[in-house]
Amino acid sequence: MGLNRNISLSAGLGYKGGSAYLTYILHRIGGSALFIFFTVYILSLLGMESMQALMGNWIFQTVFLTFGLFHAINGLRITILDLSPKLMKHYRAAINIEWVAYILVAGFALLVVFRNAFGG
């Protein structure tokens, strides 16, 4: 028997969970983005020219790179905290470290994408 939860959409979106909630939501979006990316990638390998053109589009690369990198770095943080329960009390510091690492890695990756897209 499931729980009866009567939570409206506006109440769910108005939840003030802070950085942990934000990483939770972005991790889910990143996972969905990776599913879309891999589907497009497989279709481009099968020879669909429209998917090959989409894979070469810098906007597509930018969007999926930002979400995919966040998903990977956040997954690494989750794995480290799950394998080391003693570190769980430092989860807020781990989230801050994750954001710094994400900004550095994503900044470099986006610089490469933009340089290639605009002929630099």
pLDDT digits (tens, 9 = 90+) for 89-109: 998 899 999 999 999 999 999
> Is residue 119 predicted with pLDDT exceeding 90?
no
pLDDT digits (tens, 9 = 90+) for 45-60: 998 999 999 988 999 9
Amino acid identity for residue 69 in this structure? L
Domain 16-117 part of CATH 1.20.1300.10: yes
| CA distance linking residue 67 with residue 74, whole number of Å | 10
Higher pLDDT, 27 or 11: 27
* pTM exceeds 0.75, yes or no: yes
**Where are the chain's structural domains?**
16-117
pLDDT at 12: 66
Q: Torsion angle of alpha carbons 55, 57, 58, 64, nearest 10°? A: -40
